[in-house]
Structures are given as C-alpha cells and as structure tokens.
C-alpha cells in the first residue's frame, strides 16, 4: 500500500496520521501555520514516529506547488465549509481535481444548511447572530454564518443538501456516493456505550447498521456534515 494521498486542509493531521500509519504516502496542507505545526507534532508523538511526505502551509484554492495528477486520491475535509464565496469554493474544488490523477477518488466534507438551521432553532443562545428570526432567515438564504462571540467558530458556509452533488459534478467530478459523516441520531461514543455493554457482537451489528443508514438519502439532511465521495474522470 503505497499510494500518494493529499490531505488538503488537513488541520492538525488526524486523518493524515491514520492514513500514514496504514501505509500510504501522505502530504498534508493547511492554511494555518499553527495547525501545520500541530500536525508535525502529532506525527512525532505517534507511535513509530509516523512520517508524512510533506506537511506545509497552503491555500486550498491555490495548490500551485503540486503538478497535475500528483496524487492517487485526495481529502478535503474542512475548506468547503470555511470558504464563503462561490468563486472560492469553485477554485478549491477545481484545484483538488487538478492535482488528483484521472480515476483518483476524492473525499470532500460539507456542512448542511438544513441541519445547521435546526441547531440554531433548538439552541439560539449559543449561535448568535442566528438567535433571531431574521438571523436564521438570512442564513437559510445565503448559507453564510459568522459568529458574533469572539473566539467562537466563525467564517462558515453551509450548502443546501440538494446542491452538493450538482456543484461537484458541474466542476467535473463523477459522484460515487454522498454519506452522513456524523452517526445517525447523534450516536456519539458515549451514547454507543449502551450498545457496547450488550457485547461486542451486538455492538458490531449496530455499527454496521449505522453505516448502512448513513447512506440512506432520507437521513442526509439530518447530519451536520456530509461526505462527498467522487472520482476524477478517466481521460
């Protein structure tokens, strides 16, 4: 297993570390110099001192340091929900396509507008300016969210569910699947504890069921994050 993978906007290297440990040759990029340094520290601290091919500061919209078709596969797990302008999102998607080989698979994360709006409605005090009708209405119309509280998550963009696949296909990708990246029903590790207590066999079946439901189109709008899996067309 020696394929080259780009973790574009990979932050502190959670995915890059796992892929490198699995035997892939991984390059991590992120716009934040601080997160790139965290990624380097993570690699040094990981058992076996996992090494990346490269770990560098780069804008997802401009990957000029990489030649066309440099990678066998690519991840972009963060940039799409931090780029608030349509032109920015298009540039990032096109650059990812350019540096991925024909036939290569890409994994791109999106925030869903529908689920984000439901979070604001359920807990308005935690999400100003989406703590008023007008604030939520503006978010639904634009997908743009900027938190008013200093130090909080800000600069976000959420796609309407129905626009994710057309957006990627318009930019030249072939869709493989769209899946819920968050477990159905908010099944976090602590909530899964009740199932694990029933034994590993039952727990394993529940995890398989959650994975199956994650691809059910009826559940996609209820997930805060979706994972688009597609490929660069063969030439």
- pLDDT tens readout for residues 174-214: 999 999 987 665 666 777 888 889 999 999 998 888 888 88
> Which DSSP string corresponds to 124-172?
GGGSTTTTSHHHHHHHHHH-EE--SSTTSS-SEE-B-HHHHHHHHHHTT
- The whole-number pLDDT of residue 106 equals 98
Residue with tokens 């899964």: 192
> Which is it for the CA torsion 80, 58, 95, 71, positive or negative?
negative
Alpha-carbon span 101 to 183, nearest angstrom: 31
- The whole-number pLDDT of residue 122 equals 94
- The whole-number pLDDT of residue 41 equals 86
- pLDDT tens readout for residues 15-48: 999 999 899 999 999 999 999 999 888 887 766 6
- pLDDT tens readout for residues 125-168: 989 999 999 999 999 999 999 987 766 666 899 999 999 999 99
State mean pLDDT over 61-83.
96
Q: To 5 degrees, how large is the angle CA 136–CA 139–CA 145?
A: 110
Bridge-based pairing of strands 225-231 and 100-111 is antiparallel
Alpha-carbon span 23 to 1, nearest angstrom: 5
- The whole-number pLDDT of residue 2 equals 78
The domain made up of 4-112+159-183+215-231 has a fold known as: Rossmann fold (3.40.50)
Global pTM reads 0.90
> Which is it for the CA torsion 87, 16, 97, 142, positive or negative?
negative
Alpha-carbon span 180 to 42, nearest angstrom: 27
Q: To 5 degrees, how large is the angle CA 18–CA 31–CA 136?
A: 95
- pLDDT tens readout for residues 73-98: 999 998 999 999 999 999 999 999 99
- The whole-number pLDDT of residue 218 equals 84
- The whole-number pLDDT of residue 74 equals 98
Residue 49 clears pLDDT 80, i.e. is over it = no
Bridge-based pairing of strands 100-111 and 71-76 is parallel
- The whole-number pLDDT of residue 153 equals 62
- The whole-number pLDDT of residue 48 equals 63
Domain map of the chain by residue range? 4-112+159-183+215-231, 113-156
State mean pLDDT over 103-121.
94
State mean pLDDT over 96-120.
95
Alpha-carbon span 115 to 111, nearest angstrom: 8
Using alpha carbons, list the distances in angstroms from residue 177 to 81, 90, 101, 186.
19, 20, 19, 21
């Amino acid at each position: 297993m020696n394929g080259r993978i780009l973790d574009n906007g990979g932050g502190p290297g959670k995915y890059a570390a796992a892929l490198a440990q699995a035997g892939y040759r991984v390059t991590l990029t992120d716009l934040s110099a601080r997160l790139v340094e965290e990624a380097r520290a993570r690699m040094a601290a990981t058992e076996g001192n996992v090494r990346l091919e490269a770990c560098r500061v780069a804008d997802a919209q401009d990957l000029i340091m990489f030649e066309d078709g440099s990678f066998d596969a690519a991840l972009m797990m963060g940039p799409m929900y931090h780029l608030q302008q349509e032109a920015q999102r298009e540039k990032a998607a096109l650059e990812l396509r350019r540096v991925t080989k024909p036939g290569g698979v890409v994994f791109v994360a999106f925030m869903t507008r529908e689920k984000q709006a439901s979070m604001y409605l359920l807990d308005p005090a935690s999400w100003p300016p989406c703590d008023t009708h007008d604030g939520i209405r503006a978010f639904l119309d634009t997908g743009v969210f900027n938190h008013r509280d200093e130090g909080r998550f800000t600069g976000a963009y959420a796609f309407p569910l129905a626009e994710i696949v057309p957006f990627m296909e318009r930019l030249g990708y072939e869709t493989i699947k769209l899946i819920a990246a968050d477990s159905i029903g908010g099944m976090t590790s602590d909530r899964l504890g009740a199932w694990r207590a029933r034994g590993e066999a039952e727990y394993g079946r529940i995890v398989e069921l959650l994975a199956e439901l994650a691809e059910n189109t009826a559940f996609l709008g209820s997930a805060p994050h979706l994972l688009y899996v597609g490929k660069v067309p063969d030439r």
